Amino acid sequence: MRTLNRLTAIQVTRAKRPGVYSDGGGLYLQVTRSLAKSWLFRYMRQGKARGMGLGPTHTVSLVDARIKALDCRRQLIDGVDPLDEKLAKRRAEQRERPKSLPFRDCASEYIKTHRASWKNAKHQAQWESTLTTYAYPVLGDMPVSEIDTDEIMEVLKPIWASKTETATRVRGRIESVLSWATVNRYRSGLNPARWKGHLDQLLAKPSRLQKVQHHSALHYRDAPAFMTLLQSQEGLAALALQLVILTASRTIEVIGARRSEFDLECQVWTVPEERMKGGREHRVPLSTATMALLQPLLDTGSSAFVFPAIRGDKHLSNMAMLQLLKRMERADLTVHGFRSTFKDWARETTSHSKEVSEAALAHIIGDQTEAAYARGDLFAKRACLMQDWADYVSGQSTP
């Protein structure tokens, strides 16, 4: 009985029954239930049975399959596992894949990969616009494997002093894209866009070029008079700005507020985590003045938003309150600045603790150990603080 070459080409062609047919020497014809045919090499290695595919019969002939099986048997005689060798060769080929992927393509893949972890579409748009404006003219079509310090400097140097904040963001984004390219083996070596120990030796520190510009804020002593003037203004923007001030909330939290988030019976506004900068649900205690402001807004209208846009199922524009400030001839102020007004008032004129006022602003505790133990949201204490603040800006108390 033959131990090798048991099958014939005709048998291979006519095989219609699912199963495994031996040709000898570890070579088998494999027929699946769907009648797909392929070659399989079986062998023992260190007491364990292993199998390795040699290709489909429509591509690999019986003669070619026998040659492949012979090569596998020779490897085994030499102490080489043919399957391990095949996998090692495949990994080597993957490592040697073309490293000429352009920076623009790497950036697109990076954005696609990380899009889900970014909080909103605006962040993605900022990534794309800054890279398009500043990085792509120099790096866009360059293979990432060829990008070095000179090219990074060509991008950053023209804007480092004049647009420092933008330039630092561009540098960080380029660094992230190049790190992605390195991990995916499109480039190797140190990241030429890294700051510490590299670009910090070639470019001035951002803090020395541009002073931090804080949001323009109203002094807390002027808050009651401003609130009186604001209450005389008409329109949703004026009501939205009142809610910003009374709750010390951010613009986007207020203009995006939905009716379903408010429970006037329990005097609480619950902002869901997906709308919070810190990514955590925030409960806002509602003072009596805030309740009086909200009641008619929640009793009227059909939109899901408390402050709907004029057209479409959208909320009020984030520019509406800034335009209102201009009409009030207070273009020197910003909406975000009223959070600073509240903070200064709480710190300088009240006995409420810093911990409570920080919680009212929904600031995240920086110390991780402290944050691990601070599991409550100090709601009762914040309710007292926000009532005192509402009384103050409403002119019912003095600092």
| CA dist., res. 81 & res. 86, Å (int) | 9
| Residue-wise pLDDT tens digits, 204-260 | 998 777 554 555 789 999 999 999 999 999 999 999 999 999 999 999 999 999 999
The answer to the question of residue 375 being in a domain is yes
Beta strands in the chain (DSSP E): 19-24, 27-31, 37-45, 48-56, 262-263, 268-271, 282-285
Question: Under DSSP, is residue 81 helix (H, G, I), strand (E, B) or coil?
Answer: coil
Q: What is the CA radius of gyration of the chain?
A: 34
10-residue averages of pLDDT along the chain (399 residues): 84 92 94 92 90 92 94 92 89 65 93 81 82 94 93 94 91 95 90 94 84 69 94 94 94 93 94 86 94 92 89 87 92 91 94 93 59 63 95 79
Q: Is 8 helix (H, G, I), strand (E, B) or coil?
A: coil
Burial of 342 (0-12, 13-18, 19+ CB in 10 A): buried
Looking at the fold, whether 241 and 314 belong to one and the same domain comes out as yes
> Residue 96: its pLDDT value, please?
60
Instruction: Please give the backbone phi and psi of residue 269, each rounded to the nearest 5 degrees, phi first.
Output: -115, 120
Residue 281 C-beta-side C-alpha neighbours within 13 Å: 10
176 within some domain? yes
Using one digit for the tens of pLDDT, what is the confidence trace for 152-209? 999 999 999 888 889 999 999 999 999 999 998 888 899 999 999 999 999 999 877 7
Co-location of 251 and 348 in the same domain? yes
Q: What is the dihedral of CA 334, 223, 300, 322, to 10 degrees?
A: -20
Number of domains comprising the chain: 3
Domain range for 137: 103-209
361 with 237, same domain: the answer is yes
State whether residue 27 is helix, strand or coil. Answer: strand
pTM score of the predicted model: 0.53
Q: What is the DSSP letter of 144?
A: G
pLDDT of residue 286: 95
The CATH number assigned to the domain holding 202 equals 1.10.150.130
pLDDT, position 171: 96
Among 209, 228, 251, the domain-final residue is: 209
Q: Which of 161, 187, 209 is the last residue of a domain?
A: 209
**Beta strands across the sheet bearing 27-31:** 19-24, 27-31, 37-45, 48-56
Same domain, 169 and 255: no
Q: How many CA atoms lie within 13 A of 397 on its CB side?
A: 11
- Residue 89 in any domain: the answer is yes
Q: How far apart are CA 20 and CA 11, in angstroms?
A: 13
